[in-house]
Amino acid sequence: INKEISEDRAWDQYAKHEEHGDAAVYIFTLDDEWDIDGNVPWNTARLINHSCDPNCEAWIIGRKVYIYSIRDIKEGEELTFDYGFDIECYEDHPCRCGSDNCVGYIVTQDQWPELHKRLAEKKKNQTKAK
């Protein structure tokens, strides 16, 4: 994956995909100014799905993204990694990974405790409204 684009261009792509109802955006943030657009034909890694119990990690080294296994992967097992979206837009990213520990939204694992708090508060407010 090595097609660098500006942060502004990345946001334009997000908006365009959202407008057309297409969730397939393959952008990795490099730094505050640049992102990598992974939506290129030679990037088969763009087909790796999210999981709350991933078997791979995405590492940014230099200005490239690498996918590494974090445990033994069985023959025929799907490759997955944690997309790690920020909690501020969790409702935009529901998770359907099906893992035993799925939290329901694609949020980076270090933000799961905060997500659990927000979901509990949301449920509490919905119960009060009834």
Strand order in the sheet with 27-29: 3-6, 34-37, 27-29
| Helix (H) or strand (E) segment spanning residue 69 | strand 64-69
Residue 37 phi, psi (nearest 5)? -90, 110
pLDDT in tens, 67-107: 999 999 999 999 999 998 889 989 988 999 999 999 999 99
Listed by start position, the domains of the chain span 1-46
Answer yes or no: pTM beyond 0.85.
no
- Comparing CA positions, the residue from 65, 67, 72 lying closest to residue 57 is 67
Q: What Cα–Cα distance (Å) separates residue 121 from each residue in 12, 18, 30?
A: 33, 28, 33
Dump pLDDT digits (tens) for 34-46: 777 777 778 788 8
